Structure 1
Amino acid sequence: MNRLIFGIDIIRGSVRSGTMRPHYALVRVADGVVVSEEKNVTQYRLIRYLRAERPEILAVDSIQEIASDNAALYAFLAEIPNDTKLVQVTGDCVHMESLPRVAARYNLTFDKQNPIEEAKASALLASFGAGYEVLAYEGVTDIIVSRCRSPGRGGWSQNRYVRKMHGAVRSHAREIEMKLVAANLEYTVLVRRAFGGESRVMFTVYAPRPEIQVSPSKGGDTQIRVNGRRREKLEFRQLTRKSKHLIVGIDPGTTIGVAALDLDGNLVYLASTRLFSAADLVAEIAGLGKPLVIASDKAEMPFGVEKIRRAFSAVAWSPKKDILVKEKYALASGYDFKNDHERDALSAAMYAYRTYKNKFDSILRRAPSGFDIDELRAQVVRGYSLEQTLAKLSGEEPASQTLPQLSEAEVEAEAVIFDERDEKITRQEETIRRMRTLVATLSRESEGKDKTISALHKRLNAEREGQHQRMLASVEIADRDSEIVSVKKQLRKEERRCKNLRTRLDRMKLYISLQAGEGCSALKILPLLAREAVRDLDEEMGLFAEDLLYVLQIDGWGKSVIRDIADAKVKAVILPRHVFTRAREQHLIEEFREIDLPILSGADLSPRVKGKIGVVDTAALDAALEAWTATQTVYRTQKQSEALDSMMKEYQVERVREVREQGIDPATILPEKYLRAAPGQKPKPVVKKSVPVPPVAPTPAPQSEPQVLASEPKPAEVPEAEPKGDVLSSVLTAYREQRKKEITGDE
């Protein structure tokens, strides 16, 4: 079968550049032989070649040379034939390798500076089975049959033409459905009915695009579009799924160490665990690749390693003598192993690789290009010659069929067929051999150890007695130490308390001494007019009656702190000059006047402050207190006068309201001042009746003010010499008598 493969490599230009379109070097390879080479092939010409020749594979070293992004790549894959695979030979965009490295795996060399050579290498590698196929579409295909022209243009709006188009759409849809049924493909159909037939039919076929024998077309009255369903993201599938050949070193025991190398000596796996059984270990190694060689660090391969080797039919390797610890460290140098088990397994694998390394290099020099080097190495390690391996891989019969030369040990291992009973006998014999060795060793050591044990018993008894004595002493010492630590903590606490009390006592003594000084009075400094500051001052120096407080700041004051100071019965509160001005603006002075607590300005007192105590001149303080007392008397009198005036106005307004409720004009019976008491109210008009209204006796006025008619002049005000309290009581008495008379007259 003629297997045609295209290989391309970009020469100039770029798919990302808008100035120059990409030009490619194109190489055609058929059955592993280069057929033709061509330069300066544009992407449009490449697509025409692909549609005309329909190659099996289009090989490229990077898909970024044909598309700048995923959208462009989807568009490119939609243009090429469905049975042509796009293959990226350098990896799956996650694990990428350079093109020379992939070519070296097949012993293929080329000029990296020549695009024709790179295109040839890509095509040959794809023919060898290297690379990953780019999968952009799912296994679902959409087939859409629709009309090709609009029925509303160029006279086609007539019903006969519309019916002709819709009938053609239905006919093509039926033909496609018959093909799908004949191919036994599963599908669903969505139909849009229209006049005379169907305007659009959509088939969703659950099969990949190459399996559907329907071609897209456009012409006449209908068009057919065939599109594969796009995947959510690009996927890559390896062309040939071959397991990697491995050299595995195993260190058996309770903790199993495993190390795996590829045939190039690269570390693939290194681990150690106690959880693996033999079956688990076989499954773990099988997941890594195909073990070619199973190696051990012992000259005689342990039974557990031999059992795993037989499970894979791998080649056994063991050194001529046990590997020394020094040699193990030298072999495992450069690798990060966690414990001795991983070190032993790694050293066994490295030793086996170095044994075969010269043979591997010889195969690399002698092997022709186009063959998988790893497969050649594997066959040679198994005992075949290079010629036999090449003939086998190429499908030709070798000139002479000779059996591989195996060692005697390998022949015996291949000849013996172990069943479950044989394995059990072998395991028991191994156990017996080890037990006999152990018994001999223990019998030689037993005599000497008996003497050592008796001597150690005597020494142990002596040590126990001494340890017991030291333990008793240490317990008593520990109890005493803990008690001492506790007492020291209490002592330090009491010392701090005594120090604070001493400081407080010194300040109180200083304050008392200042109080007793001639011509001076002591001050207690309050940093802020707040409850916390007052509480701190009380705890530190005490807050007693007749104390003088010098407040430095009043920010955030409240009525509660003023009540606390008043409850302490301090003598006075002094404020600095600027603070006193702010207190007046914040109406703090009125609050102190309400509770009758003197608050003085420091402008006239000139207090002297040092720390939390200060002094002020006693004569100036007495003068300030006398001035405060005088102003406080005036303030109280003014407040009482304001209260009386408020009650009088309230009485006058109430009197006018009552008269108006009786339907009488207040101006006829009430003085003018009653009318002025309620400026916002207008007198109600009096309703005139046909019958004469008897005169209404004037309501007697309170005793404090004689009754005056509206026509009379305004009476004189209450003399100021009369006490305010008497005036208030007389007004209330007159008001009660007047209400009593009104009630009696109404009845």
Structure 2
Amino acid sequence: MKPRTRPPQAGLRQAVQRLTLGAGERPNVFLPYPSQLVACEPLKRLTEIVCWVDPLLRYSRLPVLGVDIKAGSPRGRSPPKYSACLLKDRGEPEYYDGISLNELINIARKLRRGYLATDNIFELVKNSKSLRKFLASIPEEVKLIQVTGPPGEAAPLRRLAREAGLSYEGKPGSLASARLIAELAALGYGSEIVAFNPEYRVIISKNRSVKQGGSGNPRWKRFIEAAIQSEANRISAEFNRAGIDYDLYVEKGPGGLRRAEFIVYAPKEAILSVVKEHEWGPVKISIEPSWKKRIEFTKTELNRRPRPIMVGIDPGMSVGIAVMDLFGRLLGLETLRRASRSEVIETLAKYGRPILITTDVSPPPRNVIKIAQTFGAKLVTLSEHMKIEEKTKLVREFEGEQQISVGSSHERDALAPLIKVYQRLKVLYEKAEAHLSERPDNETVDRVRMYELLARGASIVEAIEGAKVREAEGEAETTEGLRARQREIAALRRIVRQKESKIKALEEEIDHYRRLVEEMERQIANLRNELDKMRELRNVEIERDRTVAQLRRRIRDLEEEHVRKDAVVESLRDEIRRLREEIARDELGPEWVPVKSLESLARDSVEDAVGREWIQEGDVVIVSDAASAGLRSAKLLTEAGVYALIYVKSPPPREVLEYLRESGVYVTDIESVEVRWRGAVPHVRREFLIRVAATAQRVKEAEEERESQKEDRGDILSILWEYRRSLLEEESASH
């Protein structure tokens, strides 16, 4: 659980709560130590107060660090050395010998929560200034305890040890004294030291050194007021960003603000980190301490139970205060100008213990909320804003009843909502009295307590039960009985520590076996993960093999199907070709012969026709457009043995035409040949085919003759070269 931190002015709030709360009562707000305040030792500086408070937790289970000085003094030239003993809830004590003050502070910081105990606070610090610095250097949840009690009532350490039943031999040394101090603090001896933080006022006003006159004076005043408002907004934003608590009072003007005053509840160092004092230009910023006097709390004030009161507050630049008891009697009316919370709290504490605070401002201002929290009082706000006529009427009637006179509008605005709240409570009081008159034990009820509980919001039955007066039972323990009990408690604590040491050893052994079990569980988990991975891998391999087998069967089936379909396609092609020839012969007569046709002589088209044997040796080909022909297409046609090429539209390119004619292919246009069409099949006369075939034969024979001549000429040349070589050899031999 995160420890709760003490807000600014927490020390003052706690002191006021202890001042105003009776025995056995607890406030509604956070109060770390609601025990009785024993005494107060004022320090030299006016802005600081140190009070001595009994610790709340008897026989604390929090860590306790006992400290005793070993050598030197805080006021001496050489730095002092200390001995310390740390007692924890479990385990053996820890000892530190010959440590410096900084090392002691570091040990206290590591505690975070607990107690730092000593028999004399001035063994740690030399004056009030260094005490405040020391308290600021340790964690706020580490409480500083002087086990011998507050100044003026301090008891010797050895006498306290004997009373508590703590054993020691002779005069204890510094380490033994440190342990005695720690054990006494753990048993609840001593008083806590609480330092109260001061308040400061940050005032933003016109710089008096700036003077402007003449006709521009009003305009210059508005400029200054706007500058003050701008600076107040900036400082307010900086305080909010830094988390610094403050109240703000302003005087408005036509151009902005004539004056702004912050009451800041923080140390001056924190304030200076946000805003600096300066006096230049049109604006002046000054920082002044807010407290003008010490606040002291004595035993007589604390032992007296203050009366419960109800308070009405009118917040503003001037704070109006109206105080009334539970029976509706007015106790006081006051007006405080630019009052801080501490001044309002001090004023209310003079009248008694506030249990209910009301105001006619909704929602209530922050300073009113914090004042109510300080006293643990119930905060009541009216649901509807009261008009001036209603306030005036209520106050005039109350003045006539109480024979009083209200001095200012601020007091009137504070008294009016208080009267309205009391009128509501009065009806509740009458119902409680009627209910009480029916009970036989009405004489044993404390009516002040009953009215207080009703004002705090309790039901009638709860208020009556809580206000019953019960007789004390039993007798107070004698001093000897208390000492015997303390000795018994000390002995039991030693036994508990021994048992706790044994428990700690057993817990460490359990932790060891627990770690072994966790390690084995991790190994088992890793093995299970590996097994799962192997199973997944095996399943993947099985699925892959199954898929491969299925694909192979599918491929084999498709290949067989492809072969069957190719055979069917080829048979159908032969059948189509045969049918076309029969149809052509039947209709055109035997003198007409079908020839092949192509759309173009593009390479892909010719390769496809030759590849599927659509064009064969001795065919005549009619092409619609021969302009797309290339040498590759011409070579394919000549290699296939085409006799003639008839083009319909455009002739083939020149180089293609020459190549075809040199290769013995007869090339002509369709106008030179008689062509008839039967459906999509062209036909030519048989005489044309015979003539083309004869031409092709002549070209072939001429080609063969040229080849023969080339061979014969090659033979003659070889004979001549052989003869010449022989002559050369003979000449070389004769020489």
TM-score scaled to structure 1, two decimals? Answer: 0.25
- Higher RCO (CA-CA < 8 Å; seq separation 6+): 2
